[in-house]
Chains A and B, each alone.
Chain A
């Protein structure tokens, strides 16, 4: 071992020994004063460094927060959209459940559910477009109902859609039966979407609240489908028939899902109707 390395070793031992003595408290007040200065310096440096660190990193945090906020806003809007979609599904499920109840309580008919996807572009006509067509065995003339009552009948069919003439259409007429009065009548639509009864016998005792059902006469609709209730009756002595205004059971402005009765085939009675020939 040469003199230089011996010197280095001695210095290390001396300094190490002093440090051991100082940290173990053997140096007393001298070491206490020294360590307190060290701690103060350490505290000052540390606090200044933390301040500087805050200053440097704070803007970065705002950017991070803004990004996070934007992400959360996107998430909230997605959740709101999901909520609306789920609410729609709940509504749809409620309607479908009611329709299933209706079809169970009327097992004599077979039904095909369809969504209403549009209305006739012309305000003169009261038609709806449904998303079932000939591919689903929908045929012209089939009655369309909801769980509340009669809606109308299929007027035209293409492969994947069909057009339904509502009973409120001005050109629509339905043979009906007034349950309480035990009499027949004819239901007509109008441009306003109101429906009214005509051709009620003057002898029939029709009252407000009487239930109106399809009679099945004429072969256009099956019998006993609910249509609505009588609201007011107009009976004038000099007229041949009474008239009545009707509150339909179906809310035609809020049709979403309907049932097509697929096992009903309308009967065309036109060939049986008498032909009027002009007298010579």
Chain B
């Protein structure tokens, strides 16, 4: 039942992303708060509902964004996929796993966006996209990673209390 916190939490994250985070830009890139939140959640040890949270993030973000829905779905669920794989392999170094997931997830999401938007006719130069959008976004996502990971660890301890 405590998993229902996903609704207000992810809803708030998408609202913050749209109203605040997207205004704090570095060159033409900005952080992706829902992505970092989702990565941090999926990396928590006892969490079993990361796919549900991923689907919910797709729903909220796809509702607001002009990005084609398949890109949003593949992007966020791809982040969950990478996080679940890494969580099993590098569980002893959670922060390393967090940075890896945020790095790979952001890169995957941006490459996917680039390919699909280019295919739909938006004229992009790969070099511009990498230097002006992807790399600054990566940096900002990495900066967000540590506080968001700590916050989501507390949330996961609340949602999945340790069995005595």
14 contacts between A and B (CB under 8 A): A118-B15, A118-B19, A118-B22, A120-B65, A120-B66, A123-B25, A123-B137, A125-B67, A127-B66, A129-B18, A170-B117, A170-B122, A170-B123, A171-B117
Q: Provide the main secondary structure of the chain A interface.
A: loop
B3 within 8 A of A: no
- Closest 10 CB pairs between A and B? A118-B18, A171-B122, A119-B22, A121-B17, A127-B66, A118-B19, A125-B66, A122-B67, A123-B29, A170-B122
A214 within 8 A of B: no
Name the residue of chain A whose CB is nearest to the CB of B60.
A121
Whether B128 contacts A191 by the Cβ 8 Å rule is: yes
Known contacts A165-B66, A191-B128, A121 near B18 by CB under 8 Å: yes
From A121, A171, A190, A193, give the contact of B61 (CB < 8 A): A121
Q: Which of A110-163 contact B (CB under 8 A)?
A: 117-125, 127, 129, 155-156, 163
Interface bits A155-181 vs B (CB < 8 Å: 1, else 0)? 110000001010000110000000000
B28 within 8 A of A: yes
B14 within 8 A of A: yes
Whether B129 contacts A191 by the Cβ 8 Å rule is: yes
Known contacts A170-B122, A191-B28, A192-B128, A124 near B133 by CB under 8 Å: yes
Known contacts A171-B121, A192-B28, A192-B132, A125 near B65 by CB under 8 Å: yes
Known contacts A119-B23, A121-B32, A170-B124, A191 near B132 by CB under 8 Å: yes
User: Which residues of B have CB within 8 Å of A165?
Assistant: 66
User: Which residues of B have CB within 8 Å of A120?
Assistant: 18, 22, 64-67
From A117, A155, A190, A192, give the contact of B66 (CB < 8 A): A155
For the complex with contacts A121-B61, A124-B110, A191-B124, 9 further pairs of A-B residues with Cβ separation under 8 Å are: A119-B22, A121-B22, A121-B32, A122-B65, A123-B30, A123-B137, A124-B129, A191-B125, A192-B128
Interface bits A40-55 vs B (CB < 8 Å: 1, else 0)? 0000000000000000
A188 within 8 A of B: yes
B32 to chain A, nearest CB (A): 7
B114 within 8 A of A: yes
Name the residue of chain A whose CB is nearest to the CB of B116.
A124
Whether B64 contacts A118 by the Cβ 8 Å rule is: yes
Whether A117 contacts B67 by the Cβ 8 Å rule is: no
User: Which residues of B have CB within 8 Å of A127?
Assistant: 65-66
Interface bits A186-223 vs B (CB < 8 Å: 1, else 0)? 00101111000000000000000000000000000000
User: Which residues of A have CB within 8 Å of B34?
Assistant: 121
B142 to chain A, nearest CB (A): 15
Whether B123 contacts A188 by the Cβ 8 Å rule is: yes
| CA gap between A188 and B124 in the complex, in Å | 12
User: Which residues of A have CB within 8 Å of B66?
Assistant: 120, 122, 125, 127, 155-156, 163, 165
B68 to chain A, nearest CB (A): 10
B113 within 8 A of A: yes
Interface bits B107-140 vs A (CB < 8 Å: 1, else 0)? 0001001100100111111001100110001000
| CA gap between A156 and B17 in the complex, in Å | 19
Which of the listed residues A120, A122, A127, A156 has the most CB atoms from chain B within 10 Å of its own CB?
A122
Which of the listed residues B27, B28, B121, B133 has the most CB atoms from chain A within 10 Å of its own CB?
B28
A120 to chain B, nearest CB (A): 5
Name the residue of chain A whose CB is nearest to the CB of B18.
A118
User: Which residues of B have CB within 8 Å of A129?
Assistant: 18, 64
